[in-house]
Structure 1
Amino acid sequence: MSGLLLRLAGPLQSWGERSAFTPVRDSAAFPTRSGLIGMFCAAHGRGRDEEGLARYEGLEFTVRIDRPGVRLIDYHTVGGGRPKHLTAATSGGDHKGDAVITRRHYLADAVFIVAVAGPDDEIARIAAALDQPYWAPYLGRRSCLPDEPFLLCASVDDPVRELMERVPLSVHEADDQHRPPETTGVSVDFLWEKYHRDQLPDGAVTLTANDVPVSFAQHSRSHGKRLLYRTTEQLPEALRSDQATLHQRLISYAKEEDA
């Protein structure tokens, strides 16, 4: 078993969990398993109707929430002000002539560091595809492009330990203003598929997410459920970075891991 590390950051992210072709396009508060595996499939050039999702079942995701982001709702209209035959089509293929209204949810200014663990050959295959993707990766929607560095580390023996001890942490100055003066270390939320310590700490929260991809087919998408554990972990103070030094520290970390 080995792993890789992704940094999911950008102006906007959107990780749909419950909605599909409905007027309200929601977003989960964290990167979904479906969204991450869909990113890998796109990097490999796999179409939506292709089979082969079973090969990703052995992957384990751990998410460090550097910044949860701020929820933003964008009001959209599609097809208004055009001749009827040029407006958006219904599922039956007809054209009503009216504008389609949607409200799309985004996470603004969010930052997630994701550890992906799995069999060595599968991790190597995914890392190679992400390094030279067939279709460019995006953060849930095509309009949501990731910041660099994106692939922080292509291969590491213990990716969760990297999250806990080595990957630089981005913290807003506003977060520091509300930090008690006697606090040591940095309190950071994590989402685990499998908790990597002896027992869950007091205050851990169990979540259910309906985001395990069964099929990405255009007209028959389906997903299963999984359990997640949300905890707050104390990380070393040395990982804290201000905005002036964060980017360079991330680049230095990525280069060091590639060396």
Structure 2
Amino acid sequence: MSGEAGLLLRLAGPLQSWGERSKFNERDTAPFPTRSGVIGLLACTLGRRRGEDIGDLARLSLTVRADRPGVLLRDLHTVGGGLPARHTVTTAEGKKRPTAAATLLSHRYYLADAAFTAALTGPADILQACAAALREPFWPPYLGRRSCPPEGPLLLGEFDDVHRHLVELPLARPRRGTASTVPVVFHSDRPLTHLAPTTAGTDNGSEPTGQVNDQPLNFHPQRRAYHSRSRYQRTVHLPADRCHGLGADYLKALATYLAPRPPRPESSPA
């Protein structure tokens, strides 16, 4: 995959939630942005309605770098409590719930203060359409749930060698200790052997670490469907001087990295 053109996205915010096995009153989150969540984000910016074809977006490949994994947060969410009977939640039979059972409880999980950098690769025309939509979204994008808007820049740009930049981009985390390197976890739907030379004693990301059910087929509310796919994970030790803290310090380092570089002067003939 080395040398592939693609897009870089920054997925960061106070809260984000990437549902993986959510059912009924238990709404979980994966520890990283899922394919279904990122494809849903792209569909949102493109103005796709639920149920519209997403086959083109499903052709894109996703690799995620975990700058900050965040902290798992559980929220006890209530619906319908303290309302008149006519405003409470309707049952599957179309009736209203009795007063004693009017309040519905759900446990919703989030990643707090997490930051990820994502690389998208695939057909050039699809990437160009997504880049334009991310710059001027049809609907506001969100990080897994509508209550989780992204902070700061979402689209970092289009790159000819996107995976090299995914590795070299400044890290949104503080530097701690005196070690010369920091471990950074990468997740992908493809093998990760291309990211960097193998570090002694660590996996090179050539074999899947498991299966996840996040390959979307349809987002229609009544016909949601997903396929399982292989998940690859790899820990790469990157130079510690790429850690630029949080907030303004990181954004300044990011802006410096992304600033256009002057062309190299041509050598004069001998």
Identify the range of structure 1 (87-96 vs 73-82) with the bigger mean alpha-carbon deviation.
87-96
* 1:16–1:28 contact (8 Å) kept in structure 2: yes
**Sequence identity (%):** 43
Instruction: Name the residue aligned to 1:192.
Output: 188
Structure 1 segments unaligned to the other structure (5+ residues):
none
How far does residue 255 in structure 1 lie from its aligned partner after superposition? 4.4
Supply the distance in 1 between the matched residues of 2:115 and 2:224 (Cα, whole angstroms). 28
- For 1:145-175, what per-residue CA distance to the aligned partner results, in whole angstroms no more than 9, with x for missing partners? 111121111x11121110112x1102235xx
The equivalent residue for 2:126 is 122
Q: Deviations for 1:163-220, whole angstroms, at most 9, x for unmatched residues?
A: 112x1102235xx14xxx4x32222111122224379874456121110101101111
Give the ranges of 4+ consecutive aligned residues of structure 1 lying more than 3 Å apart after TM superposition: 198-205, 252-257
* Structure 2 counterparts to residues 14-29 of structure 1, below 5 A: 14-20=17-23, 22-29=24-31
Aligned to 1:42: 44
Q: Secondary structure at the match of 1:57?
A: helix
Distance 2:117 2:41 in 1: 15
Distance of 2:43 and 2:166 partners within structure 1: 24
Q: Following the alignment from structure 2 to structure 1, what is the Cα–Cα distance between the partners of residues 259 and 149?
A: 22
The whole-number CA distance in structure 1 between the counterparts of 2:131 and 2:93 is: 41
Is the contact between residue 10 and residue 116 of structure 2 (CA under 8 Å) also seen in structure 1?
A: yes
Aligned to 1:249: 253
- Say if 2:239 is the partner of 1:236: yes
For the Cα contact (< 8 Å) 2:213–2:226, is it kept in 1?
A: yes
In structure 2, what is the equivalent of residue 158 of structure 1? 161
SS at match of 1:209: strand
User: CA offsets, 1:102-137, max 9 Å, x none?
Assistant: 111000011110000111111110000011001111
Q: How does 1:51-62 map to 2 (within 5 A)?
A: 52-62=53-63
Matches within 5 A, 1:176-191: 176-177=176-177, 181=178, 183-191=179-187
**Aligned residues of 1:149 and 1:250 also touching (Cα < 8 A):** no
Give unpaired runs (5+ residues) of structure 2.
Answer: 262-270
Q: Which of 6, 12, 15 is equivalent to 1:12? A: 15
Distance 1:140 1:57 in 2: 16
CA separation of 1:242 and 1:172: change in aligned 2, threshold 3 A = closer
In the other structure, the counterpart of 2:106 is 102
Segment of structure 1 superposing worse, 192-201 or 34-43? 192-201
Q: Is the 8 A contact 1:25 1:102 kept in 2?
A: yes
Q: CA deviation at 1:140?
A: 0.6
Cα deviations by residue, 1:36-61 (Å, 9 ceiling, x for unpaired): 001111111111021x2211232111
- Please, what is the CA RMSD of the aligned residues? 2.1
Q: Which residue of 1 aligns with 2:267?
A: none
Q: Provide the TM-score with structure 2 as the length reference.
A: 0.85
Q: How many residues align?
A: 248
Could you say what secondary structure the match of 1:219 adopts?
coil
CA 1:191–1:200 in 2, change beyond 3 Å: closer, same or farther?
farther
2:223 matches 1:220: yes
1:2, 1:123 within 8 Å by CA — same for their partners in 2? no
Contact 1:210 1:224 in 2 (8 A): yes
Over 3 Å counting, the alpha-carbon distance change for 1:57 and 1:76 in structure 2 is: closer
Confirm or deny: 8 A CA contact 2:214 2:226 kept in the other structure: yes
Taking the aligned partners of 1:143 and 1:122, their CA distance within structure 2 comes to 27
Provide the residue aligned with 2:210 in structure 1: 207
Q: TM-score, normalised by structure 1?
A: 0.89
Q: Per the alignment, in what secondary structure is the counterpart of residue 116 of structure 1?
A: strand
- Do structure 1's residue 83 and structure 2's residue 84 form an aligned pair? yes
Give per-residue Cα distances to partners, 1:80-116, cap 9 Å, x unaligned: 1112111011233221041111111000011110000
